[in-house]
Structure formats: structure tokens, C-alpha cells
Amino acid sequence: MSKRILIVGGVAGGASCAARLRRMDEAAEIVLFERGEYISFANCGLPYYIGGVIPKREMLLVQDEKTMHAWFNIDIHTRTEVTAIQPAEKTVSVKDLRTGEVRSERYDALVLSPGAAPIVPQVPGLEEAQGRIFTIRNIADVDALQEFLTATRPSTAVVVGGGFIGLEMTENLRRRGLAVHLVEAAGQVMAPLDPEMATLVHAELRKNGVDLHLGSALAGFENGGKTVVLTDGQKLYADCTIMAIGVRPESGLIKEAGLAVNDRGAIVVDDQFRVKGADGVYAIGDAIEVRDFIFGEKTQIPLAGPANRMGRMVADIICGKDKHYAGTLGSSVVQVFGTQCATTGKNEKQLRQMGVDYQSIHLYPANHATYYPGASQMSLKVLYAPADGKLYGAQAVGKDMGIDKTIDVIATAIKAGMSVFDLADVELCYAPPFGTAKAPVNFAGYIAENIASGEGYFDDTPHLDALIAQGATVLDVRGKKELERVPMPSTLHIPLPELRSRLAEVPADQPVYVSCMIGVRGHIACRILQGHGIDAINVAGGAKLYTQSHLS
């Protein structure tokens, strides 16, 4: 007898699961229920449709019901909501949202892919502001916003939340000509970035006319939603407000069925996506609790890439393959006007909170050969274990190509169990328009090797002033014009070409901290000093990182 497999929710996880199931089992009866009108759409592309980058609405529709049925022989029911699960009976209650009819459906396997819903805080004035407040989760959401923008031609918008959706909506609303206030309760946008990396994104936002409000949250609405009140007392005029604070798991079905969810409402599953206490029930995607790949702790990482992979894997498991999910790294990338930022694994904030011993390195490699037109520097940060070089995470911010590639390589290295030292010998493709003969990840490996060999490395550059106040010698080896153009505190200035002839000026009775613009000349100077018996320590990232760290 063939299996009867019910899938609740389409889009990334559910649609991927359905298609893989059919490829694995031609005889299975596969039924997909989707509460909305569309089984598979590009939810990551929604902000770009609002901004006109994606010009046609139909381009967002990845797979339509008719085609998917023809290709995969899947019984698809849109505008149909699963309202209850009866695990003991292996049945679900289903409601047709068009007719109101309720029926029972049996299953041999049940896959839950309900996703996550945008968080809308219950603040004063919310009800009166309806019609001016929008979320961005599905086609219906962007249809509503697009209709509002077209009909009312607003001039000002407030975006609440500085994560992926908030940043993308900010850019695309600016692209439509709106003045935009971006409100973020934390002290920085883009939480996966460490503060000194996020300042580069802040600078790009301000450069493009965004009014940035950091460290202040939404407190309420006045004047029917036309006035947005912040917790610091500011009142912002807004024709419309976009809620991009974050998401919460759509786990109501699981809770009502008496099955396991964590304290944040995420569905608890094992490494084969089985829901505890429910035979034949699986859950995938944004609604579940996942294992962090680096340290193995339980967390939530709502991203499209992992959801798609989960859909394929759970299909394989249902069809008898012995697969186990190793965990999620959280690799991500976002474009903010002319700047791109990408991350993978843990950041420094998280490592500190966890009490983990780590080494951080900062470097500023070029995105491609500097003699080829259009080269630019990226800001790259890599975190690893000092003892064995285990990679913990990385962040990159820059312009043009190369940001995603660099982080993708490091994410792959983490998955492969490579150390930071292995990065020194990674072989990547090279031609002047695409990269450098020594790739950014190679340079990261070289720096880590240097540190492991005992070469001094000061990775607390933002607090260089405090070091000087304690009486330390800080030698700047840049040229005079560079010092004037990019100031940085120091106690001694000797340009690198003059260092060997002026060694007598360098104190030999205490460590000397050596700075330059990005750390390259500092390293060369340190080797010169160390070769003459002077204890020299390279200041990570030099004046570039010092300046970057003092932006707001």
C-alpha cells in the first residue's frame, strides 16, 4: 500500500519536500495544503518588487499550482488551512477557506512547514493606525503595500527593525523616492555583524539619505498612524510604517495538539526533524528549533537556504534514507545600497556571552586585483579558537563583487572541519577582474599563522587611547600625509622606509605597538623590530579599523 503524505505549508520547505518526495517515490500519495493563494513564491524577493528592481509581480511566483501538479502529480489545495492535528488518530482537520467546509484527512507521514509570522508589537494607537501599517511576508502583503503606494503616493515612511527585511525595505522605499526613517532598538543594524563592522552599514545608510534612529524602539502611534512615537520621546511623521522587527514561529497547531515547543514557541524536533511524541510527524523551516553547527546549542535561524535543504532531507528520511541534520551556520548576505555585508557562524558578541576563548583578526584585502579598474577594499573579520584554529565565524563588508564569495568559502571551510590555518593553502580561481592571486581567505590564514608563531597582534584597536594612557609606546609607520588625512593616536612616528635607519629612536625596554593604515606595513615593521631584538606588536586593522570603530 502506498504512503499518504500530507504537507502543511508550501514556499521553501514544503514545496521542496513535495517535489523531492515525488522524485523518490512515484507511488506515494502526496497532498500539499497551503493557506495562501500561492504554493511557491520568492519571499526573499518581495522588497525588490516594491522597489521596482523586480518589475513584474509574476516574476515572484516560482512555481504555480498547475505546473507543479503536472510535473510532480501532487494533490495541491491552496486557500486551505489545517486547523488541528490528531496525532493519536494520525489525522488532521482541514478547512477550505473559500467555502468554509471542514473535513478530516488521514496521513502516514505529516510534514509541517508553517513558517514564521512577522512580529507586530501591541503598542498604543495600533488599531487606529491600521491601513498605514504593513508587514512583508507574502504576496498578499506586498500587494497591499503596492496598492497603498500607488494610490496615495506617500512621501515618508518609517521602517521599524534593522534586520534583513528592514534594510532591504529601506533601500527599496528610498529607490521609490520616499524619505525613510529606520528605527532599530539595538545600538546597531544587522545583528549578525559586530559593532565595528555594522558602522560601515550605518555610514552607507546615511550616505543614501536614510534617517537612522539607533537605540530607540517603537512606543506607539498617534494621529491615526501618521505619527510614530519612539521610546526616546521622538515623534516621526510617517505616511506608512513597515514592521520588520523580526518573526515568531507559526507553531499554534503543534501547541494545540499538545506537542513540544520551546519557550519561544519554536517546534522541538530531533536531528531527523521528527516531532517528539507524534509518530510520523515532522517539522521543518522557520518554525523549528535547530542545532547550531558550531557549538551544538539549540537556537532559531529563519533562513530560506536551510529551509530548502530541510525540505529535501526530510523527504529522503520519509523514504527510508538514514540522514541526520548537522545543524545550521546562519550564513547570510544582504545588499544595502552600494554596500554588501555577509556573515557566517558566530560573531564576537556571541562568543563573549558564551565565555568562549577566541582570537579575532581584521584585514582589508582587495576584492580583485588592484591594477584592474574598479578594485575596492573589503573589511573582513575572522574569529577562531587560539588553541587549534577551529573556525568560529566570519563577517565581511564591502562594495562590488567578492563579499559573498569570501564568506561562502569560510562557511564551506567550517562545514568541512578546516581550521583557520588551512585557509592559507586554499586554492581558488583567479583572474584580475574576479579576485587576487592571494585570496582574502589566504591572507586570513597567513595572519593566523603569524599569530600562532608568536608574532604580537593587538586586536583591541578601538581602545588604543587607553593603551597610550597607560604609558605604552605606539609607533605609527605611515607617511606624514596619511597621518593628516586619517588621524590615529600614537606616541612616535617613523615612516616605514626610514625605520631601519632610526631604530635608536624606538624604546627597547618595553613592548612597542606598531600601527599603519590597515596592518600590512605594521607587520613588516614588527618583523624589522623583532629582528633587532625589540618586542613589537602589530595593531590590528590600523587606522582603518580605529576610524571604523569610532563611527556611530
Query: pLDDT digits over 282-311, tens only?
Result: 999 999 999 999 999 999 988 889 999 999
Tell me the C-alpha distance between 456 and 535, whole Å: 8
Location of C-alpha cell 498605514: 132
Tens digit of each residue's pLDDT (9 = 90 or more) over 244-269: 999 999 988 889 998 889 999 999 99
Q: What's residue 66's pLDDT?
A: 87
Tens digit of each residue's pLDDT (9 = 90 or more) over 91-131: 999 999 999 999 999 999 999 999 899 999 999 999 999 99
Q: What's residue 374's pLDDT?
A: 86
DSSP label at residue 44: G
The set of cell numbers assigned to 436 is 587576487
Tell me the C-alpha distance between 386 and 514, whole Å: 22
Q: What's residue 359's pLDDT?
A: 97
Tens digit of each residue's pLDDT (9 = 90 or more) over 372-418: 998 889 999 999 999 999 999 999 999 877 899 999 999 999 999 99
The answer to whether 22 and 128 are in contact (CB under 8 A) is: no
Q: Which DSSP helix (H) or strand (E) runs through 512?
A: strand 512-515
Please enumerate in sequence order all residues whose Cβ is within 8 A of that of 501, keeping only pairs 6 or more positions apart, or say none: none
CA 73 to chain CA centroid, Å, is 36
Helices (H), 8-107: 11-24, 46-50, 65-72
Over residues 451-469, mean pLDDT: 91
The answer to whether 461 and 541 are in contact (CB under 8 A) is: yes
DSSP label at residue 367: S
The whole-model pTM stands at 0.93
The set of cell numbers assigned to 5 is 503524505
The answer to whether 498 and 467 are in contact (CB under 8 A) is: no
The set of cell numbers assigned to 492 is 612616535
β 211-214/4-8 pair status: unpaired
Tell me the C-alpha distance between 417 and 392, whole Å: 11
Tens digit of each residue's pLDDT (9 = 90 or more) over 65-100: 888 889 999 999 999 999 999 999 999 999 999 999
DSSP label at residue 60: G
The CA–CA distances, whole Å, from 129 to 169, 225, 242, 250, 251 equal: 20, 4, 12, 24, 27
pLDDT over threshold 70, residue 200: yes
The SS3 call for residue 444 is: helix
Q: What's residue 337's pLDDT?
A: 96
The answer to whether 41 and 163 are in contact (CB under 8 A) is: no
Helices (H), 210-286: 252-256
Longest C-alpha distance within the chain, in Å? 90
The set of cell numbers assigned to 340 is 554588501
The SS3 call for residue 389 is: coil
Q: Cite the beta strand spans of 355-420 per DSSP E.
A: 359-363, 379-384, 391-398
**Which has the closest alpha carbon to 135: 112, 116, 155?**
116
What integer best gives the mean pLDDT of the chain? Answer: 94
- When mean pLDDT is compared across 113-117, 192-196, 319-323, 531-535, the lowest value belongs to 113-117
Tens digit of each residue's pLDDT (9 = 90 or more) over 307-350: 999 999 999 999 999 999 999 999 999 999 999 999 999 999 99
Residue type, 39: I
Over residues 221-236, mean pLDDT: 96
Confidence of residue 461 (pLDDT cuts 50, 70, 90): confident
Highest averaged pLDDT of the listed ranges 60-64, 115-119, 444-448: 444-448
Tens digit of each residue's pLDDT (9 = 90 or more) over 42-58: 888 999 999 999 999 88
The SS3 call for residue 235 is: strand
The proportion of the chain whose per-residue pLDDT surpasses 70, expressed as a percent, equals 100
The SS3 call for residue 5 is: strand
CA angle 176, 178, 181 (to 5 degrees): 130
CA 347 to chain CA centroid, Å, is 11
Tell me the C-alpha distance between 463 and 311, whole Å: 46
**Which has the closest alpha carbon to 420: 460, 379, 458, 382?**
382
Please enumerate in sequence order all residues whose Cβ is within 8 A of that of 150, keeping only pairs 6 or more positions apart, or say none: none
The answer to whether 125 and 280 are in contact (CB under 8 A) is: no
Q: Which DSSP helix (H) or strand (E) runs through 62?
A: strand 61-63
β 218-222/227-230 pair status: antiparallel
